[in-house]
Amino acid sequence: MQLNQYIDHTLLKSTATPANIEKLCKEALEHRFYAVCLSSSYIKLAKSVLENSNVKIAAVIGFPLGAMTTAAKVFEAKDAIALGADEIDMVINIGMLKAEKIDHIENEIAEIKKAIGSKVLKVIIETCFLTNAEKKTVCRAALNAKADFVKTSTGFGTGGATFDDVKLMKEIAGDKMQIKASGGIKDRETAIKYIELGASRLGTSSGIKLVTSEEN
């Protein structure tokens, strides 16, 4: 299995420096990861390092809490695309989901998707804060809003991806929407299991370890 092509090599810590981001991009080139996932202030830098390569740039939007206005998220997404991002990883408004304001969730996802056109939209639902019913509801909302992916976690909540969550998300997504498992994926065996359960992308800061432990 070409595990490297499933990996979004990720660095989203608030303390990440330009030098750290440059290193992330060089690692992505060396290991031929699918994408780097970073904050939008570093898109230009990433673009300069990744120029003429196949490595995609994914930028996070409304990160990590998701509670800003829809207009702010739409602006942020458009700005990221204008700067050179290929993909957008947005955080839903979790409080609105908890309040069963599903129209708000669906409309927000749809507006961001419309704003970025053919670029890939991943919707972070932050599974650690949700009931199974809420997970299903928000996956349906993302599907209705024409998102490309649903994604488990920011990595900044109380927990990351779980096998059960990916199974549940796959039930709703079927073959109409892809799944990105992220948060806490630290070994090759776990990574492969997520892919077997239906994830087509993995968000991890342990990508190098995952691909270099192949022989073990």
Residue 10, helix vs strand vs coil = strand
What tokens does 54 get? 């196949």
What tokens does 186 get? 């630290």
Task: Based on the residue annotation, tell me whether 193 is a catalytic residue of this protein.
Answer: no
C-alpha 131/C-alpha 166 separation (Å) is 14
The answer to whether 25 touches 42, Cβ cutoff 8 Å, is no
Q: How many CB atoms lie within 10 A of CB 69?
A: 11
Among 21, 12, 17, 15, residue whose Cα is nearest residue 39: 12
What tokens does 5 get? 């092509």
Give the active site residue among 56, 119, 170, 180.
180
What tokens does 123 get? 């919707």
Task: Show Cβ contacts of residue 103 under 8 Å, excluding neighbours closer than 6 positions.
Answer: none
What tokens does 30 get? 């060396």
Task: Based on the residue annotation, tell me whether 13 is a catalytic residue of this protein.
Answer: no
- Find the length of the chain: 216
Give the active site residue among 56, 73, 86, 89.
89
C-alpha 142/C-alpha 153 separation (Å) is 15
C-alpha 3/C-alpha 5 separation (Å) is 5
Task: Based on the residue annotation, tell me whether 114 is a catalytic residue of this protein.
Answer: no
Give the catalytic positions in this structure.
89, 151, 180
